[in-house]
Amino acid sequence: MAYKWQKNYACTTVFAVFRSKSMLDQQTVPSAFDQAGNTKLGTLTYFPRTNTDATLLDNQATMMANMFVNHMANLGVINEMEEEGTTKHDVKQKLKDIFKDGSKTLKDVAETIDKMIKFFDEE
């Protein structure tokens, strides 16, 4: 079944981390939560638009993945990892591939972390 953008910890965490000026500060994400899930990553501030250099895109995706996980870890919303022993680096690597793809959406980011992390609203 397709993943749904809804009011759960995975999606609200993605929304908070992406939009908050004290975190990733991606202000092209709509301020209305319901509309934010379909926002394509290629329209966000971090995504290079005039230069398609692979190294530049890799660097930008790395920075976003690093900081997303660092901020999420600080927020204290993670109950446990789906797989014991999953490190921050493991989550960062998965997210880096997503962040390199401009056609992916915030919903895809939420789905990715939801598969690796058990949040407090999950059994």
Partner 1 sequence: MKLAVIAYLLVCFFLPVQASTPSFEETFGLDLFDKGKNKVRLGMFSNESGDTSSWSIDFKLNKDIGIGQPSYPNKDKDQFILPTTGPVFTMDELLAIGQNDYSDLSDIQKERLFAAIDHSVDDYSVFHINLSAEGLLALDKEKNLKDFTQFRAQGTYKKWRDNQYTYGGGIFATYETDQSNDNAQIAYGVSVNAQFYFHQGKANEYVFLKLDYAQVDPTDNTQRLAILNGDKSTFHRWEMDATVQFQISVQEIDKVELSYRYFYEPGAPTEVAAAGMNNFALFTAGIFFQKGWFIAFSDGELPFSVQKEQIVELGWSHSFN
Residues contributing to the site for partner 1 (CB under 8 A):
7-9, 12-13, 15-16, 18-22, 24-29, 31, 33, 35-36, 38-40, 42-43, 45-46, 48-56, 58-60, 62-64, 66-67, 70-71, 73-81, 86-89, 97, 100-101, 103, 105, 119-121
Closest-CA residue to 113 (of 98, 102, 101)? 98
Query: Using alpha carbons only, what angle is made at residue 16 by residues 10 and 21, rounded to the nearest 5 degrees?
Result: 155
Is residue 75 within 8 A of residue 13, CB to CB? The reply is yes
Reported as half-sphere exposure (CB side, CA atoms, 13 A), residue 49 has a value of 6
Rank residues 1 and 55 by Cβ distance to partner 1 and give the closer one.
55
* Shortest distance in whole angstroms from residue 51 CB to partner 1: 4
Rank residues 1 and 70 by Cβ distance to partner 1 and give the closer one.
70
Rank residues 1 and 8 by Cβ distance to partner 1 and give the closer one.
8
87 CA to centre of own chain: 16
Helices (H) and strands (E) in the chain, counts: 5, 2
Rank residues 1 and 85 by Cβ distance to partner 1 and give the closer one.
85
* Shortest distance in whole angstroms from residue 5 CB to partner 1: 10
* Shortest distance in whole angstroms from residue 1 CB to partner 1: 19
* Shortest distance in whole angstroms from residue 2 CB to partner 1: 14
Closest-CA residue to 113 (of 34, 24, 5)? 5
